[in-house]
Each structure stands twice: as structure tokens, then as C-alpha cells.
Amino acid sequence: MIDNQDSIAPAGVKRRHLIGGAALGVTMGALGGLAGGVALADGAKLPQQKPSGKRRFENKVVLVTGGTSGIGRAASLMFAAEGGKVAFCGRNVERGKQVQDEIGEAGGEAVFIRADVRNESEVKALVDRTIETYGKLDVAFNNAGISIEKPLHEYAASEFDDVLNTDLRGVFLAMKYQIPHMLARGGSILVTSSSNAIATTAKRSAYSAAKRGLVGLVQAAALDYAQHGIRVNALIPGTTDTPFIRRLSGMENLPDAAWHVAVSQWAKTHVPGMQRVATAEEIAAFAVTLASDDHPYTTGGQFVIDGGKTAQAG
């Protein structure tokens, strides 16, 4: 699955609404003066976030949806680095095997299970196989999501449904099959929402509706299961440098140097506060902390990590 994030397009670049897939026809010329060379790109590089070195998930089983790229991939690696046995899903088998191999080569333990969170039988099979493989479930990071961007009246009903079925219903299905395995022993469930649940922009009615819906889902579920020792929280990331926003912005085929310059310039005017986007590893590190036992009194919460992006909204 594709990670949940904002999209970026330089001035004058028309955004189309494809989900991943083909390039959107953006050329180097459309970036104007932004792609001023490798020297500028070096100045736009983001800080590196490494695993904590702690072992907070030793003897714990973690399930991650949307684990083959972006935030989900980074989180899968971090959970494993902290001793967790990680089952993760996505739709792209090649990327899934790459992440599984990467975790194994680093000394971790993980299994990739292909699953589409829109498909109930595949979600059930994902959870069942996790239990068959590792015997239990302690932590779930329900992260998978997509976006289609266009004015509301231009959505086909099927497009609107596709976003909600992935981003909102997909989380419901994951929790529906995860929770029964946590009722007797407790657990931690973290859901990836978005800063668009707080303050959004044009052409994101489907995405924003789904992401705000997740906050309500988390709050109600937290009350349903608090007495069972299951914590349910929402992660609310701001714009993050992932393949998701690069594709959605139509810049997946640009050289890395040009991309880093473009996203850096965009952030200076769109991210009040830190004036930069996050790395997937920064968001993943926060997710891992929230999912751990470090903060046992947290449930039903909305944890914003957006560099100040929504601080001046409203």
C-alpha cells in the first residue's frame, strides 16, 4: 500500500490524480529555478533518524500494514531492530521481499504477507498467518493508505469509495481481526491518520474525510477496549518525504537532486515552524515509541508530528 501523506507540486505544475503508477509528465523545466544543481540539493538534505538501540519489542509480535514503502517500511525496520517479530503486508511482492531481506540481513525477524486491506478475506488471512507464524499478536500499526486528488464533484463514486475503503474501512477490517487476539492479554494498536484530519487543502475531500474518520474510529475503539488492556491511538504525521508524495506530485522520475530541492522549497512556505518535511524514519521512530509500553496511560489520543505545519491553522 501507499503511505498517507500530503502531496507537493511546484507552482505551475498541474497535479493529476493517479495512485502511484505512471509518471505525471512533469519535466525538469517545470521546476524552474528550483533545480539549481547538486549543491542546492545537498543543502536540502534531511536529517537522518536511526533506530533507538533499545529492545522495547523483545519477545513481542508486531503487525504492520502498508509496510513495503515509506513510513510503513521504516517502521517495520525499526520494530525489528528493537527485537520485534514483524509481520507486514503490502500489495507489491517485490518490495515486500526486499524489506523482508533487509530486516533479515540486519539480524531481525520478519515475514512479508501479501494483502490488500480493501479485501476482507485477505485481511483476515493476514492476521491468521501472523498468528500461525508467531503464535500471538502484541502490537498493530495500521498504516496503509492511498489518495486521489481532484475537486469533489469530479470524483467518480468508485474513486471516492476506493480512498475510503483503503484508508478508513481497511483500518476497521484490520482492527476487527486483530483485536480478538489481544482481548485476553492486551496490546497496542496505532493507526496512521494525517495532518489533513486537522487542516486540509483543496482537492482532498476523500482523503481528508477518511483521515478525520480514523480519529473518530480510534476514539470509540479506545473506549471499547481500554478495560481489556488494549490501547488504541492515532498518529498524525505532517508532510513526509516518501515515494507516496513524490508520485502524487508527479515527480517520481526526476533526479533525486531536483526532487530534494523542490520539496525543500515547498516546505519553506507550507510548513510553518521547521520549514522542512519529515523523513519516513522520523515518523516511524515516533510511531514505534507510541506503540511501545513506554506510555501505558495513552489511549484514544491524537499524536501530531508535523514540524509545526498545523500549529497556526484555525
Enumerate the active-site residues.
Answer: 207
Q: How far is C-alpha 79 from the chain's CA centre?
A: 15
Closest CA to 312 of 282, 270, 263: 270
DSSP label at residue 166: I
Spatial contact of 11 and 265, defined as CB atoms under 8 Å apart: no
Report how far residue 241's alpha carbon sits from residue 212's, in angstroms, rounded to the nearest whole number. Answer: 22
Identify residue 160 by its one-letter amino acid code. Answer: F
Report how far residue 183's alpha carbon sits from residue 98's, in angstroms, rounded to the nearest whole number. Answer: 33
Report how far residue 53's alpha carbon sits from residue 168's, in angstroms, rounded to the nearest whole number. Answer: 33
Closest CA to 252 of 16, 51, 11: 16
